[in-house]
Amino acid sequence: MPSPFSRPSSTIDRHIHAPAATIYLRAVHLLAGLWLCAQTPGWAASPAPVPIERAGTTPLSYVGSAMAVLATLEQARVLPPEGTPEANHIVQSVIQLQSAFTKGEDPDVAAFATRAVAAREGTSASELLRESKAAGWTPELLIALAEAESRASQDELAALRGGLKRYNMSIGDFRNFMALVRSAERSLEQQGLDFSRAYAAHRGSMPGAVR
């Protein structure tokens, strides 16, 4: 099965509306193994695999949202070469950070997300945060976090350490992923595209999409 990190065809490069099956096949082979464990903090450090029954609590919407993020990053041409440790780690970061920021219960992580979305979206923040808890990653949350991370103090970032560690993520992992989101925004803008619209188009083709 093709890798989610192989270069997209010229059609996918140039247009937001890529065929659903194409994107799905590119993303699913890595996600299929990783999403099963996504709800268990520290799963990557566990000596034993997480039983499928426990992973069944993962909403299909979270699987589709993670896949849509990867598809959007792929379209922006900001992913590292396929098959590299860097590429695999990005997949892990997409999944684990999604759990930390949308389902996790750490108060410092939740407060950071709340401040980030409120700073960008104002009075719509509460509704958008509720949406992310049900749906997983949203473009509003991703962009708000990326902006907040870029201006956060060392103390603000340090406060996230404990909450991220529960999902086997570090502050460095968070910062690297947020930098990738900002790079994707710039790259898509140079292509005449918008990150939020690109994400929404991919999300509509993924599992758990609202029809």
Determine the structural domain holding residue 159 and report its residue range. Answer: 10-203
Which of residues 66 and 24 earns the better pLDDT score? 66
Which of residues 58 and 95 earns the better pLDDT score? 95
Residue 128 lies in a domain: yes
Query: Given this model, what pLDDT does residue 84 score?
Result: 84
Query: Given this model, what pLDDT does residue 61 score?
Result: 86
- Decide if 95 contacts 38 (C-beta within 8 A): yes
d(CA 182, CA 166): 25
- Decide if 16 contacts 197 (C-beta within 8 A): yes
- 184 has pLDDT over 90: yes
d(CA 108, CA 160): 6
- Decide if 87 contacts 177 (C-beta within 8 A): no
Number of domains into which the chain is organized: 1
d(CA 168, CA 115): 23
Residue 4 lies in a domain: no
Lowest-pLDDT choice from 39-48, 116-125, 190-199: 39-48
Dihedral angle over CA of 16, 22, 24, 28, nearest 10: -130
- 22 has pLDDT over 60: no
Name the token pair of 79. 């992913």
Round the average pLDDT of the chain to a whole number and report it: 78
d(CA 122, CA 4): 35
Query: Given this model, what pLDDT does residue 201 score?
Result: 92
Query: Given this model, what pLDDT does residue 39 score?
Result: 41
Lowest-pLDDT choice from 55-64, 78-87, 125-134, 175-184: 55-64
Model confidence over 111-164: pLDDT tens digits?
999 999 999 988 888 888 998 898 899 999 999 999 999 999 999 999 999 999
Query: Given this model, what pLDDT does residue 210 score?
Result: 61
Query: Given this model, what pLDDT does residue 43 score?
Result: 40
d(CA 137, CA 95): 9
Residue 135 lies in a domain: yes
Residue 189 lies in a domain: yes
Query: Given this model, what pLDDT does residue 204 score?
Result: 86
Residue 2 lies in a domain: no
Q: What is the mean pLDDT of residues 79-102?
A: 90
Place of tokens 């997983």: 136
Q: pLDDT over 90 for what percent of the chain?
A: 52
Query: Given this model, what pLDDT does residue 126 score?
Result: 86
Residue 184 lies in a domain: yes
Query: Given this model, what pLDDT does residue 29 score?
Result: 44
Residue 211 lies in a domain: no
Residue 208 lies in a domain: no
